[in-house]
A = this chain, B = another copy of it.
Amino acid sequence: MNLNPEFLKELKTRFQIVFSDLSLLEEAFTQSSYVNEHPELKLQDYQRIEFLGDAVMELIVSEYLYKKYPNYPEGKLTRLRAAIVCEDSFSAFARECHFDQYIQLGRGEEMNGARDRNSLLCDIFESFVGALYLDQGRQTVVRFVQQVVFPKVEAGRFSYAMDHKTNLQEWLQKSGEVDITYRLVGEPTTSNNQQFTVEVVAQDQILGTGQGHNKKAAEQVAAETALKKLQKR
């Protein structure tokens, strides 16, 4: 067994996780390049466990979003899930957990900088989750994800995925199609006034106005303003 004792210690102190079957954890952190370099060890690489971990994350995040945001329509849930369950996010979580330090890589891959590659770190995050699920069951994974992932959702790290224009459209179209227009009503004129001004209009009503350094930003502000007004009614 090649697992770093520091890793086991960190899992225990930081996440209260103690694996029963350490060979699952080792498999989850072993890349095929390492397996190929050490045929005598008869190791498995992480890919099968990652296949499972991917689906575990998808369900845990889906269930969390479904219950946390009972008023979000499906489209918004799907966009938010896609922003959380993706290579960028998972590789960041893997780094935050220091998983990058403990991957078993072949020398060639090490020299190619694989240890810092997002696609590998994303895989390792999923395979860790798969191993944890097999070893400890769903509840322990939920606890881990509650510690590592959900606080970031609640702090708004993924809110870029839910842009205000789409939200406004979904709000207005709850009971059928509605034409929504963004109208540019003010452009930068002097070096002192660098702002664009946009109005959002639906069914001949101005729902909101917004300003920004470009048209897109002004549209987002207008949509956000409109949504806030509508939701207060």
Interface residues of A (CB under 8 A from B): 36, 39, 47-48, 50-52, 54-56, 58-59, 61-63, 66, 72-74, 77-78, 81, 138, 175-176
Contact = CB atoms under 8 A, between A and B. Distances in A.
Contacts of A74: 47-48, 50-51
Nearest to A62: B55
A67 to B, nearest CB: 9
Among the interface residues A51, A58, A175, which one has the most CB atoms of the partner chain B within 10 A? A51
Contact of A66 (B39, B48, B72, B77): B48
A102 B221 CA distance: 44
Among the interface residues A36, A55, A58, A66, which one has the most CB atoms of the partner chain B within 10 A? A55
Contacts of A59: 55-56, 58-59
Among the interface residues A50, A52, A61, A78, which one has the most CB atoms of the partner chain B within 10 A? A52
A120 to B, nearest CB: 14
A48 to B, nearest CB: 5
Contact of A47 (B36, B39, B48, B73): B73
Contacts of A48: 66, 72-74, 77
Given A73-B48, A74-B47, A77-B48, A176 B55 contact: no
9 contacts: A39-B175, A48-B72, A51-B77, A51-B81, A52-B62, A52-B63, A55-B58, A55-B59, A55-B61
A56 B59 CA distance: 6
Contacts of A51: 62, 66, 74, 77-78, 81
A51 B61 CA distance: 11
A81 B50 CA distance: 14
A50 B66 CA distance: 10
Nearest to A85: B55
A102 to B, nearest CB: 21
A167 to B, nearest CB: 16
A153 to B, nearest CB: 16
Nearest to A65: B51
A48 B68 CA distance: 12
A177 B138 CA distance: 37
A171 to B, nearest CB: 15
